[in-house]
């Protein structure tokens, strides 16, 4: 008999009835009449060429053929449901906007989150902008940065400190000598961040004779790792680089800038459940 003629619509009726061994309870679970369930089972038996149930006054019993058939049909039917469930399941996709300066901190968090919660996917958009307007932008969440950022939940405050590769520092007589000898790496097109640190540095300000400017802090940090010079960077953003030995802090002194990184979310997002899990995970591992 051709494969297409297999009465697939009768298999569920057989499996449910085999579990209950009672037409009334099977019909109730299937939301059918007892007569409809009986007809489905009769149709299956006709196709198989043998009976799967023996009818008794007190209920039903599986025939030897029915008992032999049941385990394989149960496994096949459960596999079919699992395949269909995987096909229709759509992961929660969180549309996240974040400034490029936060990537060194954010990317490891996203990797950890997606490994621990594979049902959550992050669609990350990076930008040099430091804010978000949920009325005009299609994001579920955003990391914002700035001296006046107050909305959302605080992730961390910006705290600046000089960083340098160990190999480059080894070429200087001291940390103070490194400031005098090597190129100052600036995370912006001006000298604001270095100026803030020097203004709070007990030993006073030095002349910054050799300078290299970058568009983002991440680029300045990468240049410092490669031994290009000494950078001014946020303690949180370089924490992993310091832990791994890619960079060292030549000075214990640091200065808070008054700026902060915050997590903001769109109210009424269609991905509410996934967004809640994302926020909980991100804040929990921050």
Q: Give the residue-averaged pLDDT of 204-220.
A: 87
Pairing of strands 184-186, 230-234: parallel
Q: Which of 47, 66, 88 is the last residue of a domain?
A: 88
Question: What domain range includes position 70?
Answer: 3-88
Residues 237-274: pLDDT tens digits?
A: 999 999 999 999 999 999 999 999 999 888 866 566 67
Do 39 and 101 fall into the same domain? no
- pTM for the model: 0.64
- C-beta of residue 164 within 8 angstroms of C-beta of residue 182: yes
Counted domains in the chain? 2
Do 139 and 273 fall into the same domain? yes
Do 67 and 113 fall into the same domain? no
SS3 track for the chain: CCHHHCCHHHHHHHHHHHHHCCHHHHHHHHCCCHHHHHHHHHHHHHHHCCCCEEEECCEEEECHHHHHHHHHHHHHHHHHHHHHHHHHCCCEEEEEEEEHHHHHHHHHHHHHHHHHCCCEEEEEEEECCCCCCCCCCCCCEEEEEECCCCCCEEEEEEEEEEEECHHHHCCCCCHHHHHHHCCEEECCCCCHHHHHHHHHCCCCCCCCCCEEECCCHHHHHHHHHCCCCEEEEECCCCHHHHHHCCCECCCCCCEEEEEEEEEEECCCCCCHHHHHHHHHHHHHCC
Cα(149)–Cα(130) distance, integer angstroms: 9
Q: State phi, psi for 161 to the nearest 5 degrees.
A: -155, 150
Q: What is the CATH number of the domain that holds 80?
A: 1.10.10.10
Do 189 and 84 fall into the same domain? no
- C-beta of residue 33 within 8 angstroms of C-beta of residue 40: no
Residue 192 half-sphere exposure, CB side, CA atoms within 13 Å? Answer: 10
Do 201 and 241 fall into the same domain? yes
Residue 280 half-sphere exposure, CB side, CA atoms within 13 Å? Answer: 9
Long-range contacts of 178-181 (CB under 8 A, 24+ apart): 178/230, 178/250, 179/206, 179/230, 180/206
pLDDT at 286 over 50: no
Q: Which of 88, 110, 129 is the last residue of a domain?
A: 88
Residues 114-133: pLDDT tens digits?
A: 888 787 888 899 888 888 88
Do 50 and 122 fall into the same domain? no
Predicted local distance difference test score (pLDDT) of residue 257 = 92
Confidence label for 221 from pLDDT (cuts 50, 70 and 90): very high
Do 48 and 103 fall into the same domain? no
Nearest to 250 by CA among 177, 150, 183: 177
CA distances from 34 to 22, 40, 56 (A): 10, 10, 16
Q: Which of 36, 65, 88 is the last residue of a domain?
A: 88
Predicted local distance difference test score (pLDDT) of residue 115 = 84
Q: What is the CATH number of the domain that holds 244?
A: 3.40.190.290
Do 246 and 262 fall into the same domain? yes
Do 143 and 226 fall into the same domain? yes
Do 64 and 196 fall into the same domain? no
Predicted local distance difference test score (pLDDT) of residue 185 = 97
pLDDT at 2 over 60: no
């Amino acid at each position: 008999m051709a494969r297409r003629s297999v009465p697939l619509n009768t298999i569920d009726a057989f499996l449910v009835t085999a579990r209950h061994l009672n037409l009334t309870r099977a019909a109730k679970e299937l939301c059918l009449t007892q007569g409809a369930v009986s007809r489905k089972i009769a149709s299956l038996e006709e196709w198989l060429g043998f009976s799967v149930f023996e009818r008794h006054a007190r209920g039903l019993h599986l025939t030897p053929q029915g008992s032999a058939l049941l385990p394989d049909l149960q496994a096949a039917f459960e596999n079919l449901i699992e395949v269909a469930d995987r096909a229709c399941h759509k992961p929660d996709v969180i549309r996240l906007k974040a400034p490029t300066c936060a990537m060194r901190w954010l990317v490891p968090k996203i990797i950890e989150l997606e490994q621990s919660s594979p049902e959550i996917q992050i669609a990350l958009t990076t930008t040099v902008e430091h804010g978000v307007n949920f009325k005009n932008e299609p994001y579920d969440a955003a990391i914002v940065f700035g001296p006046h950022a107050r909305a959302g939940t605080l992730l961390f405050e910006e705290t600046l400190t000089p960083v340098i590769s160990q190999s480059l520092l080894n070429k200087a007589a001291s940390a103070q000598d490194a400031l005098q000898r090597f190129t100052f790496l600036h995370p912006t097109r001006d000298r604001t961040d270095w100026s803030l640190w020097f203004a709070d540095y007990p030993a006073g300000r030095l002349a910054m004779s050799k300078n290299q400017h970058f568009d983002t802090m991440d680029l300045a940090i990468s240049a410092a790792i490669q031994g290009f010079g000494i950078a001014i960077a946020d303690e949180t953003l370089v924490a992993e680089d310091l832990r791994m030995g890619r960079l060292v802090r030549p000075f214990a002194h640091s200065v808070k800038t008054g700026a902060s990184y915050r997590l903001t979310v769109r109210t009424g997002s269609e991905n509410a459940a996934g967004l809640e899990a994302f926020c909980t995970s991100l804040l929990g591992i921050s």
